[in-house]
Amino acid sequence: MAYYLAPSLRVLRSEIDARWPDRDRRSDGWIGDAAHAARTSDHNPNARGSVDAIDVDRDGIDVPALLAAFQAHPAAQYWIFDRQIANRATGWSCRPYTGSNPHTGHVHLSIRQSAAAEQDTTGWGLLPGSVGPVPPAPAPPGPPPVPAQPPRRRRARMVID
Ligand SMILES: [Ca+2]
Ligand SMILES: [Zn+2]
């Protein structure tokens, strides 16, 4: 099957390149090598042919800024960097990462394994001139305000149950 990097990660990588054009790319990666293919890895194409992870060389970038932007994006699932791992499901709290590769030379970024996340080309907030990560979406609106009623008229009945 033809395989491809998830479009959402294409957008992320292009933003990283635009933000830090002179960064080191020697530890970049996306498609898994033979060692990856022998085990479960987001670097292997999934059933849709999509590769849902990238590795970004740590040199020449602002890693905390990258991780903050990553975590703010709806497609993000987890990252691994410098012997630590953080996952959306646990509120992005850092835990020790004890895998054989300590990820000291690159940042691993995985998105959610879903077609929606793969195709989500929402910006990641890293373009030059943008101020930090994309702000969180506004809270969903509460119940509509009760319109002001003139005196002596029956108020709209509020549904509270
Ligand atoms: Ca490097
Ligand atoms: Zn990786």
Give phi and psi for 118, each to the nearest 5.
Answer: -65, -35
Which two tokens mark 88? 């959306």
CA of 130 to the centre of ligand 1 (A): 25
Query: Is 157's pLDDT higher than 90?
Result: no
Per the listing, tokens 């800024």 go with 65
The boundaries of the domain holding residue 62 are 4-118
Residue 103 lies in a domain: yes
Residue 69 lies in a domain: yes
CA of 53, nearest ligand number: 2
Which two tokens mark 26? 């020697």
Residue 123 lies in a domain: no
Residue 106 lies in a domain: yes
Query: Is 94's pLDDT higher than 90?
Result: yes
Residue 153 lies in a domain: no
DSSP summary character for residue 125? S
State whether residue 108 is helix, strand or coil: strand
Which residues on neighbouring strands pair with residue 90, listed in sequence order? none
Q: For the segment 46-93, what is each residue's pLDDT rounded down to a tens digit?
A: 999 999 999 999 999 999 999 999 999 999 999 999 999 999 999 999
Residue 17 lies in a domain: yes
CA of 59, nearest ligand number: 1
Task: Determine the pLDDT at residue 114.
Answer: 98
Query: Is 140's pLDDT higher than 90?
Result: no
CA of 25 to the centre of ligand 2 (A): 14
Contact (Cβ atoms closer than 8 angstroms) between residue 6 and residue 51 = yes
CA of 157 to the centre of ligand 2 (A): 56
CA trace torsion 118, 13, 62, 75 (10° rounding): -10
Residue 142 lies in a domain: no
CA of 110 to the centre of ligand 2 (A): 8
Q: Mean of the pLDDT values across residues 85-107?
A: 96
CA of 79, nearest ligand number: 2
Q: How many domains does the chain have?
A: 1
Residue 51 lies in a domain: yes
What is the spatial distance between Cα 105 and Cα 130, in angstroms, rounded to a whole number? 26
Task: Determine the pLDDT at residue 141.
Answer: 72
Residue 72: exposed, middle, or buried by beta-carbon count in 10 A (0-12, 13-18, 19+)? middle
